[in-house]
Structures are given as C-alpha cells and as structure tokens.
Amino acid sequence: MTSHVIATAGHVDHGKSTLVRALTGIEPDRWAEERRRGLTIDLGFAWTELPSGAEVSFVDVPGHERFLGNMLAGLGPAPIVCFVVAADEGWQAQSSDHRDAIAALGIDQGLIVVTRADLAPGRVDVTLAQARSELAGTGLAAAPAVAVSARTGQGLDELRTVIGSVVAAARRPDPEERVRLWVDRSFTISGAGTVVTGTLSGGVLRREDRLALCGAERGGEVVVRGLQSRGGPLEQLGPVSRAAVNLRGVSTEEIGRGDALLTPDAWTLADVVDVRRREGEALAGAPAELMVHVGTAVVPARVRPFGSDHARLTLERPLPLAVGDRLVLRGGGHAVRNGVQVLDVDPPVLDRRGDGARRRAVLESLPEGGDPALEVSRRGAVREHELARNGVPLSHRLPEQVRRHGDWLVDSGTMERWTERLLELVREDRAAHPLSAGVPRKAATDALSLPDTGLLGAVVAAAGLDTADGRVVDASGPRGLGAAEHGVAALEESLRGTPFRAPEADDLAALRLTPRELAAAAAQGRLLRLPGEVILLPTAPARAMRELASLPQPFTTSQARQALGTTRRVAVPLLEHLDARGWTRRVDAGHREVVR
C-alpha cells in the first residue's frame, strides 16, 4: 500500500483546516487556542485512506503572515501541496505569500481547491480563474482543480478522486535513498520517552536503527526505539510518510523543530554553500544577512553575492545539505525574498583578489545536479562516497577524465602532474645522492601532497617506477655504486669463495665501505645485510639451507655454525633470517629444524 504526504497552503481562514477535517474526520488544530480562535497557529496533522487504497497524510499549515515560518516548516518537506482559495473571498495577500513559498521551494505536484463553494456559487469560476492566473508561474500552473463545500459535502467525493489521481501520478521516492527526517515536533510520552515527528521523504526507517542527530543543541547518535505512522505501530516505515519516531539516547530538551535525523556518515553537514537564484529578486542587492529555511530548519546566514543569480551563504550552524536542495530566503519582513538551489556544499575558500569573479564564472557553468568530473577535477582526488554525501553521485559510467583507484576517484590531469613530480623527485634524489636506496614512501607521499598514502602505488605504476624496502626506485635507471663499486666487487669475489665468512669491521673499512655504501649495494641486490652488520651474498641463505638440511634434525646453533664453517657472530643472525623467511623454525630454546 502506497503512502503520501500533502501539505495545505492558502490565505488565513480560507478553510484549510475545515477541509482536512472533512476529508479525514480528524481535528488538525492541536492547540486549544487554535480551536478557540478558529485560527491555525502551528502545524496540524491528519490522515485518511482514499477509495483507491492509497494512504494520505495531511500537514495543515497556518495561513496568517505572522506564522509564515511555521508554514514553511510544514511545506518544505512535503512533496505535494493542496492550494486552497475561498470562493467568497478570492485571492488574498497570504495567498500570494504561500504562492511565493511554493515557487521558491520548487514544488510542482499538487491541486487547487476552491472552498466554501456553497457561500458564493457564482464566484467559483472567477475565483478559480484568478487562482490559475496567480499560480501560472509556479509548478502548480497545470494542477487539477475542484470546488467543494466542507459544510455541505459538495465536491468532496470528486476531491478524493482528484487527490487519488494526483498521488498516483506523483514521483516515486527511492526507498534506498539515505534518510533525512526533518523534525517538526518533539514531545515526551510517559513510559516511552522522547518522540519526534516529521515527514519521511526518502529512505526507510526501522526499529533499532542507529541514526545521526544533527541538532541545534547537540549531535551524536540516537537509536530508533519505536515507530508509528497514521496512528499505528510499525517495524519499519518507507517514504513518503508521516513518521512518529520514539528515540533512545536524547531528551526532548535536546531535539526539536529544525533538527534532523540522518543516515550515519551519509550527509555533509555544511555551513557554507554556493547557491543559484531560482525565484525572486536579484541576489546582487540582497541584504548582508537573511534567514534561510530548509526542511523544518530556519537559520541566519551571511550573504556574499556573485552577481544577480549566484551567492555564497554562510550559515550560523551546519545543516545536512546536498546539491540540488531548494532553500527559501527571507529578509526582515514576513515575505519570501528568494528561492535558491544549492550548487555546492563544499565550496573552495575565496581569499585572493579576483576569486569572487572566478567563482561566479564557475557557478554559471555548473549544471543543477552538479558535475562529478568538475568536482573531481577541483579536488584532484576524492573518495566516491564523499561525492555521494555532497549530493553528486556518479552515473554507472565514469567521466572520461576520471580514473578510479580503489575507492578514490582521481582526475587524469592531476595524476599526470603527480607522475611528473614523482619522476622528478626520483631523479633529484639520484643526482644528489648517487648511493641512495630510493625515495622513502612517506617522503614521496608528502612531496606530492597525496590525500592518502594508498594512492602512491597508482602514481608509482603510472610513472613506470618500482618500490622496494619502503622506497620508490627507478629499476630501469642507472644502478652503479660510483666510487664504492671497486670495494663491493672485491667483497663479492671474497664471499663467493667463502660464503659464510662475513667481513669484519676492519675489512669493510679497508674496502672503504661504510653503512651508506653497504645499504646502497643491498638495495641493488648485490649484498645481503643482516643485523650486527653481517654482510653476505644474497645467495647465502639458499646455500645455508642445503648444508642445514643434511644435518640430523633438529640441530643446535653450534652444529649449524660448524656445518657452515663460520662464527657465532654470523650463524645467529643468519639462522634468525632463515626463521623469518619460514625456512627453519625453533623446536625449543636450543634447537631448530628445517621446514620441509
């Protein structure tokens, strides 16, 4: 069974609450003062089942200009709107305010209802024509319309049918989408604890889900203790639905309207966003500070215009935002000033002369849904899930100039620059230090300013280089040892004849082989360095194994020393080297055996 959420809109006292009551049998005005005054002050909620079987929840919003903020909190998260105009009064001032809010939010699903048709039957057509004229520039320009009387019941059956058609044609939400539930109410129920309500427009909520709280008072993790929708308990709840969520891990004092429950690690909490004007006045003349409405939240923001159509908003507190989100901007008065669309939730810092003009040019070229290739190019490299967090998911096919390396997306131009710099780094190291064993991996990572050491392997491969012993080397380049070549060659010749008679310190000094030269020779595979500056040929371990395999197993260190014709200074580190390679193993404190 499908579920939908519809918000009302229209001038104060045009019968929005009465209409909801007639359709659902539920009183949407929750406060005694509202019922006493006949005036909706805050959001009201009700639900019903249509003849088609579809379930519809209504968010009844206040019409008075003093409560426009409350109206936006109800209208913002709702995908469908029921715009109400009374036949006996026609279009009024707050009708225009609500129209501007709908246009600013980009709502394009809904219907028009002419109420109180029994009080002015001769004005129904005029009122409807007036409403269509006023709504012509909005997403409701072609919306179906019905004339009704909640008092007599006239047109209510037709209205239910039209609502059924509207919800049947509505865009289907994605149950796999990440959750962002904007909270519109919070309260305590005895024995249950904290309960919040909101409109679930995407994703699925389940009992025992762990969610991230983005709140004005606190953040952190909360747990879904229970779920209700349309008056009944549920194990899980999908979109689009009104949700009552019983939470564990937060008090009612710590959560309220304007806060959001989120899929953990799935949203960017942005306090600086770049936006494009979609409705309203030019941004070039905007006040230095405006109020920003999104979902049920309202926060002050500083405004930096980039011409008439683009601006940067610096929010007073971070909000879970994504590319494509629609925001409403209001000034000091009650009226809506602008509707804007988010283009970037992680924009670059602008601190140099001319940055504003350059940023304007970039924003003018950006598509509304974001450009993955541009996002990767701007950053050089970015993890794919970070793009998704920002609301710029990749299509199934990578952009031509983007390469995937593990979970990283790398701009091809950036990879070329990294490759050239690494080659230059290796050449500089060889020129400055002929005996260098290569550039240490960490030094290479730092020099290239790689965001992750895991990317170094891709750069090394792209550059045609190799890594050995934690260093980046050019295996195809010149590998000479310079002045040390004579001493290393002499040592190699000596060890070929007596493979386990490692040179003493005096012997190495006579050959002018310092630790630096020995390290270079070892890096080139000419020598094997063991602890204690025991120097052998790289073939020594294999030759030792042939000798040790002929001994009775297990054998002692002394027996091994005698079989190899060497000293304890050489035998001990050599045996430990064989242990480390898994060729021999200790049997007990005094014995080893060959691993066959």
Instruction: Supply the DSSP string of 28-89, one letter for each residue.
Output: ---SHHHHHHT---S-EEEEEE-TTS-EEEEEE---SGGGHHHHHHHHTT-SEEEEEEETTT
Residue 65 domain flag: yes
Residue 8 domain flag: yes
* 80 and 105 housed in the same domain: yes
Neighbours of 325 (CB within 10 A): 21
Name residues whose C-beta falls within 8 Å of residue 568's C-beta, 6 or more positions apart in sequence: 557, 561
* 135 and 212 housed in the same domain: no
Whole-number pLDDT of residue 36: 40
Residue 503 domain flag: no
3-class secondary-structure state, position 279: strand
Give the alpha-carbon dihedral of 144, 150, 155, 156, to 10 degrees: 80
Pure H helices in 278-383:
355-365, 372-379
* 247 and 298 housed in the same domain: no
Domain holding 221: CATH number?
2.40.30.10
Residue 578 domain flag: yes
Domain count, the chain: 4
Strand partners, 45: 59
Give the alpha-carbon dihedral of 190, 196, 200, 206, to 10 degrees: -50
φ, ψ of residue 483 in degrees (nearest 5) = -65, -20
Domain holding 565: CATH number?
1.10.10.10
Of 361, 358, 359, 321, nearest to 340 (Cα)? 321
Neighbours of 192 (CB within 10 A): 12
Whole-number pLDDT of residue 39: 36
DSSP string, 509-544: HHTT--HHHHHHHHHTTS-EEETTTEEE-TTHHHHH
Whole-number pLDDT of residue 480: 61
10 in Cβ contact with 16 (< 8 Å): yes
* 82 and 162 housed in the same domain: yes
How far is 437 from 473, CA to CA, in rounded Å?
Answer: 7
* 24 and 144 housed in the same domain: yes
Residue 307 domain flag: yes
Name residues whose C-beta falls within 8 Å of residue 324's C-beta, 6 or more positions apart in sequence: 341, 342, 368, 369, 370, 391
3-class secondary-structure state, position 272: strand
How long a stretch of residues is the chain? 596
Whole-number pLDDT of residue 548: 95
- Domain range holding 574? 539-596
553 in Cβ contact with 593 (< 8 Å): yes
Whole-number pLDDT of residue 3: 86
Longest dimension (CA), the chain: 119
Per-residue pLDDT of the chain (596 residues; tens, 9 = 90+): 578 999 998 887 788 888 989 998 887 654 343 334 333 334 678 889 998 888 998 888 764 455 567 778 878 788 999 999 999 999 998 899 889 989 999 999 999 999 999 999 999 999 999 999 999 999 999 999 999 999 999 999 999 999 999 999 999 888 889 999 999 888 888 777 888 989 898 999 999 999 999 998 888 999 999 998 887 888 999 988 888 899 999 998 999 999 999 999 999 999 999 999 999 999 998 999 999 999 999 999 999 999 999 999 999 999 999 999 999 999 876 688 999 999 999 999 998 898 999 999 989 988 888 888 888 888 899 998 998 899 988 877 888 889 999 899 999 999 999 999 999 998 888 777 766 778 899 999 999 999 999 999 999 999 998 887 788 887 665 556 767 788 888 989 999 999 999 999 998 888 888 888 888 788 778 889 999 899 999 999 999 999 999 999 999 999 999 999 999 999 999 999 999 999 999 999 899 999 97
* 199 and 273 housed in the same domain: no
* 36 and 158 housed in the same domain: yes
Please report where in the chains the tokens 């990767």 appear, as a residue.
Answer: 376
Dihedral sign from CA coordinates of 172, 174, 178, 181: positive
List the structure tokens of 279: 């409705």
* 99 and 244 housed in the same domain: no
* 50 and 119 housed in the same domain: yes
Residue 159 domain flag: yes
* 34 and 148 housed in the same domain: yes
Among residues 240, 262, 284, which one ends one of the domains? 262
φ, ψ of residue 588 in degrees (nearest 5) = -150, -170
Strands (E), 161-265: 180-189, 193-200, 205-206, 210-214, 221-229, 232-234, 236-237, 241-248, 260-262
Among residues 135, 169, 203, which one ends one of the domains? 169
15 in Cβ contact with 116 (< 8 Å): yes
* 548 and 587 housed in the same domain: yes
Decide: residue 198, CB within 10 A, 0-12 exposed, 13-18 middle, 19+ buried: buried
Residue 491 domain flag: no
* 103 and 127 housed in the same domain: yes
> Amino acid identity, residue 433?
H
Q: For the range 472-478, what are the long-range contacts, defined as Cβ-Cβ under 8 Å and sequence gap of 24 or more?
A: 472/422, 472/425, 472/426, 472/438, 472/439, 472/440, 472/441, 472/444, 473/426, 473/437, 473/438, 473/439, 473/523, 474/426, 474/427, 474/430, 474/438, 477/426, 477/430, 478/430
Among residues 262, 288, 319, which one ends one of the domains? 262
484 in Cβ contact with 520 (< 8 Å): yes
How far is 63 from 71, CA to CA, in rounded Å?
Answer: 7
Residue 557 domain flag: yes
Domain holding 76: CATH number?
3.40.50.300
How far is 328 from 70, CA to CA, in rounded Å?
Answer: 13
Dihedral sign from CA coordinates of 496, 497, 502, 503: negative
